[in-house]
Amino acid sequence: MPLGIAVVGLGRWGPNHLRNFSAHRDCVVLAAADPSAASRERVAQSYRTVQLYADYREVIARSDIDAVVVSSPTATHAEIVRAALQAGSMFSARSR
């Protein structure tokens, strides 16, 4: 069964993570979050099956998310990673 992936942060690196995890046979990208409507719209053009959110908390609250890639500005990592761990998700951190 493929891992359900979420990406938090759709700036410089987020779309790269979406592309790479979408291409991996053992993963399915289910959701992504970014407060920028423009970033979400850009991603929506290419990844029509990925549910997009403005608030990362909605993503990590989903029960079908197995792993969260944190690709937001470095200053936000601690908050997001802490929330993801408390939600029970695995994570990987990488700044924009």
Task: Quote the number of domains for the chain.
Answer: 1
Query: Is residue 90 predicted with pLDDT exceeding 70?
Result: no
Query: How far is it, in rounded angstroms, from Cα 27 to Cα 74?
Result: 25
Question: Residue 60 maps to which CATH number?
Answer: 3.40.50.720
Over residues 67-91, mean pLDDT: 86
Q: What is the domain extent for residue 64?
A: 3-93
Query: How far is it, in rounded angstroms, from Cα 87 to Cα 63?
Result: 9
pLDDT value of position 91: 44
Q: Which residues have C-beta within 8 Å of that of residue 14, sequence separation ≥ 6? A: 7, 8, 32, 34, 39, 43, 69, 71, 96
8 DSSP β-pair partners? 33, 70
Over residues 4-60, the pLDDT tens digits come to 999 999 999 999 999 999 999 999 999 999 999 999 999 999 999 999 999 999 999
Say what the pTM is.
0.88
Query: Is residue 92 predicted with pLDDT exceeding 60?
Result: no
Q: Which residues have C-beta within 8 Å of that of residue 16, sequence separation ≥ 6? A: none
